[in-house]
Amino acid sequence: MEPLDLRRLRYFVVLAEKLNFTRASEQLCIAQPALSQQIRTLEREVGARLVERHPGGCSLTAVGKVVAAKATLLLAQARAARDDIDAAARGQDGRIRLAYTRSARGGRVDALIERFRAQNPHVEVVPETGWHAPNVAGLLAGRYDAAFVRPPLDEPGIRWRLVDTEELRLALPSGHHLARVRRVSREEVAGEPAVMWPRENGPGMFDRIVAQVWPSGINLVRYEPDDEQLLRAVAAGGVVAAVPEGRAKALRLRGVVLRRLTPPIPTVDIGLAWNDRTSTPVVQRLLATLDDPGEPPSGGS
């Protein structure tokens, strides 16, 4: 048997409710002869009589009652499926594979995602955490739908929006002589043994930090994998580090003092990136969340 036509089933369900061709055709906004023709066609498709016609209306046959019950259920399922499809097309359903960057948890990043979750309760957020370079590689490879990154970045096909701009703070051992001053100049920090994470983790951010904090060149004596380990190295003594303010405050460690640098104030950006070739409606809804009141203006390209 061929699949039954949903439109004819809808006509039949209305007729089963009204038990009158005139009233059913009025509700359906079709001519009564056209409704009668549709019901006769449905009866041929089913292979059995569905209604008994009377002078004052009609009644359902035994088969008609079964068809009416099953058709009501089937139409409800079809409407639910249509609603799910529409929600997915609008980005209100489905999932988003999202990569955080290790150096930017908390603050506006977490607030953005919490607001997105609240506005889109039927979207599943599948999070991971990595460095800038692996996050961009994941976007290019299709492993992620969106990722937080540290601009600048100029990979073809990758676009980004500015989420936040953070001030860089200088992390010093608590016993360091510069820990006694409120602001540290570039001249004072020049030549101090410094610790950084590997440049390949985020080349653009690495170069931007060095250019702003150590414009005459960095005395890099040690590498650590992430900001937490940078601060632990500082706490152990002998090295200094430049760390984004939000991450530095979230990871406050005993033995570490945070100091501001003199103007020009060094900063780093946090952006939300996506692959323009594989963008989904859910990604577009996440980007729209950035435009909510209180969010910073967009940036990048």
pLDDT of residue 301: 42
234 within domain boundaries? yes
**Which residues contact residue 204 at a Cβ distance below 8 angstroms, ignoring those fewer than 6 apart?**
132, 150, 151, 152, 153
Both structure tokens of 100: 């955080």
99 within domain boundaries? yes
Neighbouring C-beta atoms of residue 82, cutoff 10 Å: 10
pLDDT > 90 in the chain, percent: 61
pLDDT of residue 182: 92
pLDDT of residue 279: 84
Q: How far apart are CA 152 and CA 148, in angstroms?
A: 12
Specify whether 157 is located in the same domain as 281: yes
Give residue-wise pLDDT tens across range 198-227.
998 888 899 999 999 999 999 999 999 988
Q: How far apart are CA 84 and CA 53, in angstroms?
A: 38
pLDDT of residue 108: 86
Specify whether 207 is located in the same domain as 235: yes
By C-alpha distance, which of 272, 279, 288 is closest to 142?
279
pLDDT of residue 295: 45
Q: The domain spanning residue 139 has which CATH number? A: 3.40.190.10
Q: Please report the beta strands in the chain, taking only residues with DSSP state E, as ranges in sequence order.
A: 51-54, 57-60, 94-101, 123-130, 146-149, 158-173, 183-184, 194-196, 220-223, 241-244, 256-261, 267-275
Q: Which residues of the chain have pLDDT under 50?
A: 295-301
CA dist 300 → 4, 9, 35, 268 (Å): 52, 53, 58, 13
| Confidence (pTM) | 0.64
Specify whether 137 is located in the same domain as 171: no
Domain boundary among 89, 112, 141: 89
Domain count, the chain: 3
Q: The domain spanning residue 25 has which CATH number? A: 1.10.10.10
pLDDT of residue 185: 97
pLDDT of residue 273: 95
299 within domain boundaries? no
Give residue-wise pLDDT tens across range 267-298.
999 999 999 888 888 898 899 998 875 544 44
Concatenate the DSSP letters of all residues of 12-77 into one string: HHHHHHH--HHHHHHHHTS-HHHHHHHHHHHHHHHTS--EEEETTEEEE-HHHHHHHHHHHHHHHH
pLDDT of residue 216: 94
pLDDT of residue 234: 97
Residue 151's domain spans which residues?
Answer: 94-163+269-289
212 within domain boundaries? yes
pLDDT of residue 293: 53
